[in-house]
Structure 1
Amino acid sequence: MPHLPNPVDYAVPAFVLLVLAEMIVAWAKDRRRYCPRDTLTSLGLGLGSTVAGLLSGGLVFAMASWVWQYRLFDIGWGWYWFALAFVLDDLAYYVFHRASHRVRWFWASHVIHHSSQHYNLSTALRQTWTGFVSFNFLFRLPLFLIGFPPAMVFFVAGLNLIYQFWIHTEVIGRMPRWFEAVMNTPSHHRVHHATNARYLDRNYAGVFIVWDKLFGTFEPERDDDKPRYGIVKNLGSFNLLWAAFHEWIGIARDVAAAPTWRARLDYMIRPPGWSHDGSRDTSETIKARWQARQQREGAWNKPTSSSSAEDRAGAPSQAA
């Protein structure tokens, strides 16, 4: 099996330079777009994620190679196989990403990426330390079983990650219409990071926004409903350890206090915000109340220049 480099390693210097360039441009328009402590937290979480990946990467590759032994097809190394692997890996990423917002166990790792109240290129570096613990690698196993070599899959996964870096910005408005129709863009991904009721649980795509359009999870960004970022209960701290592990702590507390074994399981596998007594909000309940209010006011498609406290609360699927 050929050895392929990790393309992310070569992209890191460009990431740093682009963050600095965006910081200069953003500060010229609005200094609030970058918070130094928030940026340092994002960089620290990115560094920790890199270390965690190094520690678990060998085991993940070994598991992928073991599954590949039972492959259904022998897939070669032609460029067309790389192209197909890139597309299928992006589909696998969509499934993983959607599950990461709908299953609390997966969300406990993914919430780190949504925990900043700012949206800039440094936010893209705010990555999980616990992806291996939450079994994120499971979503790519079907690719190995089909027959795509592990080295090929991890290579295209690195390209996917590089692509997603540039869409974490407010400096870029909208791309040409043809590009917005097919590809994930800053506009589409701002929707995904937003806590506005309209935008909850939408735009899970990595590279191709067509997955969201195909599976009914697409929502366009609206100029009259500017995205607001963060999580329903913001961290209130720049502590790296709290940012990395707070949702795992929340799960442990809920499981310990749950009245039944079924409730204990549900606190791990049901959507974020679920509670056994219905005392908390999920993204569905928040969105349902917002939709009901819009219908009562006959304002479903009217400008939303002001927002209620309910809208400002954000999404439990982005909850602490």
Structure 2
Amino acid sequence: MKKIYLFVLLCMATMISKSQNDLDALLAAGVDDAQRFANDYLAPGTNGLMYSMNANWFNTADAKPLGGFEISIIANAAVIKDDNKMFLINTADYQNVKFENETGTSAKMVASVLGDNDPSIFVDVEYEDPLGITRTTTIELPTGIGSENINLLPTAYIQGALGFSKGIELKARFVPKVSTDDGDLSMYGAGLQFEMTKWLPADKVLPVAISGLVAYTHLSGNYDLSTASILDGENQRLENNTNTWLFQLIASTKLPVINFYGGVGYIKGKSESDLLGTYRGTSGIFYEEVTDPFSVSSEVSGVRGTIGTKLKLGFFRLNAEYHVAEFDAFSVGLNFGFR
């Protein structure tokens, strides 16, 4: 479990180590330009994580009876598609940024946090020196985790479920803070599943169960930028807070050993990243000192389809599922329960 979350931190660290110097340099072009680029650059990564962290909230529509419980160890991964690896940057939308040797078109596809610029892409950034003279410096646009051949966005957690009467089941998932020398990451969530077929007189003889689910998940992390930044300053860091809601309709079979389940759901979420601390220009890049330069955010809202299977052998259960959505995702769970 910890190794999977350290991998998530590795993805974040790889992105930051590859991009931080150039995002720093983009501050020379002005906060607005740096913020515009950072927002488009980071959004595919945070959006993918929102889909990954919402997999495997359920493995059946058959709600547990009063006192029934299940403890699960779950690992998920969202699939990075080619469309998520690039975004269109149009320098006409920027105040002080142009592509190197720009002639004719001002629009070009460049790597997002999930992609890779191969070959490298350079831009010219205009800034004013302390004497008010306009100067130009050339910087390389950041690449992403695609340069490390990373094509999945993983999440993992421990989840518990407890049955109440009348088809109601409460769920909770949790990851204690996982820390490295440069950052930390934590996650928690809660859900309510309610089985509608439990309210029918013929519930005991029906071959299928139908449930609804509402779930909330929160992820937070921060990364120390002080060792990666080319700029002088204090307390330089990146903080992220991500919140999602899942609304899901579920159907499953009710067989003794192997069951199949699926459903249609709707995900809505928002991820906010704050570049914090104080930054002062160095190495020939001059501009005023900037404190807490900017915040960027991305939102997701979309339908997903789910199909899965669950093997039950007494106290032990194993399930696997696949989700079709803007970011496809797959998940496996090792479950221990009693009902």
Which has the greater radius of gyration?
A: 2
Higher helix proportion, which one?
1
